[in-house]
Each structure stands twice: as structure tokens, then as C-alpha cells.
Amino acid sequence: MIEEFNNEIGKIESLQELQDLRVKYLGKKGLLTQQLKALGKLAPEERKQAGQSINRDKKQMLAIIDDAKTRLEQKAINAKLAAERVDVSLPAYKLSTGGLHLITKTINKLEDVFRSMGYDVVMGPELEDEFHNFDALNTPKWHPARDLQDTFWTTDGRVLRTHTSPMQVRYMETHKPPFKVVVPGKVFRNEAVDATHEAQFHQLEALVVAERITMADLKGAITEMASALLGKDTKTRLQPSYFPFVEPGAEFAIWWKSPKTGKEEWLELGGCGLVHPNVMKAVGYEGVTGFAFGFGIERLAMVSYGIPDVRYFYQGDMRVLRQFRGEL
């Protein structure tokens, strides 16, 4: 029987075939097991010799099976390694990488520009109290301008800031002039959403306070900012307007080429003016003047990158975002 076993095991190619062979010879109903059960029918002297022979065959079979199992397991490991082998000489896969959002890039660029002009960058709270968001900015409860910005209130009487201007007051309360600061951040308005308006957007506020600050200083700062951002030949202009916390007040615009119409035209970016005397009074300043201007960062990004619809910034459409990966 051992010869038959050796012939069969030499043809084994897998662990499953080896297991089937073990069951065939050594299982409960296996050939060798059947011989052991038949020993009781033999004479005592024959039984002893046959039992010794069967046990000898069983030990040999078990040893051969163990060797074969080790060989076949190593063979399976080698086959798996060969199948999963990595050719290090091949070029690596190019993995997709993320990038900064256009709003983040625009804010970073603005901060770099203003720092180069000597401004400090400061941040303020998005959840404001009524005093800093309205009253201290010359907009008391009865003021009609409240209707334009009186938007999202919390149950404890605070408001999601409607502009970054509250930081003007907060900064002046804790600092003495002269100083130059800019305040980038998120603001909230009860706007009807369309191609140029969002209920949540970003602004950048600039504030300069010192002795003898005039509208000429304001115009120069806006022109310098526009030149740094959009090119040295960028044209700017101021046009009269009204904001309760500046006097006189104006809107500033740049001359640009619209990506939608292809025509050059004036684009209004934001509001500006000299800080209102009532605002100076609210913080206890005397003998100084200042200017402030603010604008929507989304609108500037639309100009810089030729984006026709402000909603593209927040839709998460990868077809849009991938176009500007790596843009500075």
C-alpha cells in the first residue's frame, strides 16, 4: 500500500489534492484505517506482524504528507508573490491631488498685497452683538439702513454679522492710532441668490486711522490695491454713495473686461469713505481721521478668474474646481 501511496502523492499539485489523499488513506473510512479495523480477524501472531507493518506505513505516510504540505504551501506563497509582484522600474501612478479653493487663494493674495502695503491682518467674530454690528457704526434701531442688513438673529439677541465693519469698532476700542488694518472674513445677508448675490459670502474690510487722513489717501490706497491685484494699468474711480458709518461716502469701481459680454465696463466692487465722526466718538477718538473701504471677495475672484456666476464657488462642482487647481 505504501508504494501506491507514494505513486499518488507524486502527482499531487495542490493542498486540496493532498487533503483528499490523506482522507483516502488515513481518514475514518480510509484504506489504512480499514486494515487496522480488520486486525481483529487475524490470528494473534499474524495480528502482531500486520499491526507493526500498518503502523510503520502510517508513520511514513504522515511524514510524507507533512513534507508535501510544506512544499505545496511554499509553492502557493511563491505563486502569490509572483502575481502581486511590483515592477519598480515602471512609472508610478499619478494620484489626483487637491488644491486650495479659489476663495482661499484670493484671500491669501489679498493678505499678501495688504501686508506689502504695511497693513496688519486681523480677524473678528462671525457671531456679533447688536452694538458692534449696528449701533457703534452709526446705525441705531430707528435707522432705515437697518432694513438692508437686519438679517439672521439668534435667540439670545446676537446677529450673524452682516459685514466685516464691526471689527473697525472692536479694533479701535483696544488700539491707539496710527494704524492700518484689514479684516477678511465671512458675512451673512438675507439675499435672493442669483448669479451675483449669495446669502453667505466673504468681505475684506480696510481701516486706516491717523492724523490728516483724506479722501486722496483713500483713492490712493484703492488704486494701489487694484494695481497689485489686477495689473499696474488698472483704472479705478470713486462715485458718490451713502453708507451710515462713513462721511463722505462713495462706491469704488474698476475698469474691466466682462467674461460674459466681452465688453469693457466699470465694475463696482465695494463701498468706502472717511470714517464717520459718530463712529470716532463711539470709540473715544479725538484729533484724528481715517478712511475705510470694504468689498466682496467673491466678486473680486470673479474678476480675477473670469467666473460668470458667484454660485459656482459653493456648488462643489469638480468640473469648475479642477480648472483652477494650481492657480495662484
Task: For residue 243, give the nearest of 162, 301, 298 by alpha carbon.
Answer: 162
The residue written with cell numbers 483528499 in the block is: 20
Choose from 232-236, 278-282, 300-304 the range with maximum mean pLDDT: 278-282
- pLDDT tens-digit series, residues 13-53: 888 888 888 888 777 777 777 777 777 677 777 777 777 77
Calpha distance 167→206 (Å, rounded): 10
Calpha distance 157→167 (Å, rounded): 19
Three cell numbers, residue 254: 474698476
Calpha distance 126→36 (Å, rounded): 88
Contact 250, 273 (CB under 8 A): yes
pLDDT band at 150 (very low <50, low <70, confident <90, very high): low
* Helix pair 2-9, 44-83: axis angle to 10 deg: 10
pLDDT band at 145 (very low <50, low <70, confident <90, very high): low
The residue written with cell numbers 498685497 in the block is: 113
Asked whether the predicted pLDDT for residue 172 surpasses 50, the reply is yes
- pLDDT tens-digit series, residues 233-268: 889 999 999 998 999 999 999 887 766 667 888 888
Task: Measure the CA dihedral 169/173/177/180, to 10°.
Answer: -40
Contact 297, 110 (CB under 8 A): yes
pLDDT of 221: 94
